[in-house]
Structures are given as C-alpha cells and as structure tokens.
Amino acid sequence: MSNSRDERLAALGKVMDTLDILRVRCPWDAKQTNESLRANTIEEVYELAQALINDDTADIKKELGDVLLHILFYSKIADEKAQFDIADVANALNDKLIFRHPHVFGEVKVENSHDVETNWEKIKLKEKGGNRTVLAGVPEALPALIKSYRIQEKAANVGFDWEKREDVWNKVKEEMGEVSEAIVKGDKTDIEAEFGDLIFSVVNAARLYGVNPENALERTNRKFINRFNHIEESATASGRKISDLTLDEMETLWCEAKHKAESK
C-alpha cells in the first residue's frame, strides 16, 4: 500500500520529533557523537545488505529504518552544532541528482545506461568540490573486492577498458602463470602480490560479463556454508564429529547436499 506524499512527510516528521525528545531525555541518545555512532552505522549497513541478499521484505523495511535513523541522527548532531540540518542534506542531494542527470533535466542525449555512467563520471570531475581525479571517488575504506570492482568500473567509464571483453581471459591466464612462477620461487611477498593481480583480473572479467563479483562470491559463500552444514549435521546425526569423517565421506555428503539443493 502506497502512502501519499503528505503521509510520507508526516511519518518522517514524527521520527524527527521522537529523536529530538530522545536527545534530551535519554542518557544513551544524549551522549552519542559522530564517532560513537560510526561503528554502529557500519553494522547497520551490513545488516541491510544481508536483508537484501535474503530478499526478506520485512527485514529490509526494518533495516532501512535503522539506517534512516543514523542519517537523521548525524543530521541532528550537526544541527545542534549549527553546521547543517536534514533539510540541508536533502536539498544538497536533490541539487546533485538534478545536476548529474542532464539527460533528464537538461538537453543531454543518452542511448543507454552506459552513456549515463560515462556522463556521470565526467560531471563529477567538473563539480565544485567534486572528485579531482577519476578514482578519487572510491572510498579508501571499502572492502578490497568491492573496491577493485569500483576502480575498474570508474576507469572503464572514461574509456580505459578492453576493446573486446574476451581479451580479458588472456590477462587472467597470464596472471595465473605469474602466480605459479612466484610459488616456485617461494617468495611470500611476491606470491601475495601475484595472487592480488590474479584476483583483480578475475574481478575485471566478472565486470565485463555483467557480474558483480561481490554478489557472486557471497552466493558461493552461502552455498558452501549450506553444504558444509549438511556434512556437519549428518556427522552429528550419526553420533560422530565432523573431524571423525574421512575425506571420502565428506565428499559423499557434499555431493548429497549439492544434489538436494539442485533438486529444489
């Protein structure tokens, strides 16, 4: 059921009024700062990400609320310091959306989403206070896998990319060979560096084939967990520990879990 615009604004207003009260009357809320909230904010974003992966509508709604609370909380803290408030945040966001979508609000013509992404990067370089370089907009604190994907995506948006996506496999094979050579030499630092190059090239290949490597790897993580749990549960059901199973027994149970999942 879709609420009207006035109902949505009223709902946000109620949350803001509640937060105003909590900042005065609740000892925990009253003592919070940007720094004290930061770790909790990161946790909430990951919980939202998990809800999105699970495609759990009720949980997504709940976690969005938790993230929204943090946005309002930081804005409230800034308002108390006479720096900015939630209206400034919203207005700045609206201005940015309009400025970065000249194909909607201006005269720029685009053919597809790739054109939009390419224009987006060019616009960000021109923005006052925007990114001074193409890669400056990639947060340093991003997890490495997501970070490598964003780096490659941004570079591709300004033309630094393979002419044919099939060519990336030669690079992957080249990096695999360099990993093997490093392992033979036995230099741990070199082995780590070459594995990094190999992973980076595989991430690049995933991007070129329209696959988000973070989502792909998480799907595999969850698949592994489900199959491994089946092995452990089967061992427990037979009165044994998983460490008591032979590798052949584990493989049999692994295949059993795999076939069970595929038959669903």
Packing angle, helices 34-54 and 57-80, rounded to 10:
160
Chain mean position to CA 196: 20
Task: Grade residue 128 by pLDDT with cuts at 50, 70 and 90.
Answer: low
159: enclosing H helix or E strand: none
* Lowest-confidence region among 19-33, 117-131, 166-180: 117-131
- Give the residue from 176, 149, 157 showing the smallest Cα distance to 116: 157
Structural domains of the chain, ranges and CATH numbers in brackets: 5-99 (1.10.287.1080), 215-262 (no CATH)
Task: Grade residue 48 by pLDDT with cuts at 50, 70 and 90.
Answer: very high
* Highest mean pLDDT (candidates 4-8, 49-53, 247-251): 247-251
Two tokens at 44? 């909430």
Task: Grade residue 80 by pLDDT with cuts at 50, 70 and 90.
Answer: very high
* Lowest-confidence region among 49-58, 63-72, 230-239: 49-58
- Give the mean pLDDT of 223-227: 94
Show Cβ contacts of residue 68 under 8 Å, excluding neighbours closer than 6 positions: 15
- DSSP secondary structure code for residue 244 in this structure: G
pLDDT exceeds 60 at position 82: yes
Percent of the chain topping pLDDT 90: 72
pLDDT exceeds 60 at position 180: yes
Amino acid at 103: H
Higher pLDDT, 57 or 102: 57
Q: What is the pLDDT of residue 137?
A: 79
Chain mean position to CA 181: 33
- End-to-end Cα spacing for the chain: 32
- Give the mean pLDDT of 44-61: 92
Residue 149 near residue 200, CB atoms below 8 Å: no
- Give the residue from 89, 62, 156, 147 showing the smallest Cα distance to 118: 156
Show Cβ contacts of residue 218 under 8 Å, excluding neighbours closer than 6 positions: 53
Distances (CA, A) of 134 to 28, 96, 100, 176, 253: 41, 18, 15, 29, 49
Residues 73, 64: Cα–Cα separation, whole Å = 14
Higher pLDDT, 131 or 252: 252
Residues 185, 192: Cα–Cα separation, whole Å = 12
Q: What is the pLDDT of residue 109?
A: 83
Residues 222, 216: Cα–Cα separation, whole Å = 10
Higher pLDDT, 168 or 113: 168
Q: What is the pLDDT of residue 131?
A: 59
pLDDT exceeds 90 at position 157: no
Task: Grade residue 83 by pLDDT with cuts at 50, 70 and 90.
Answer: very high
The mean pLDDT value of the chain amounts to 91
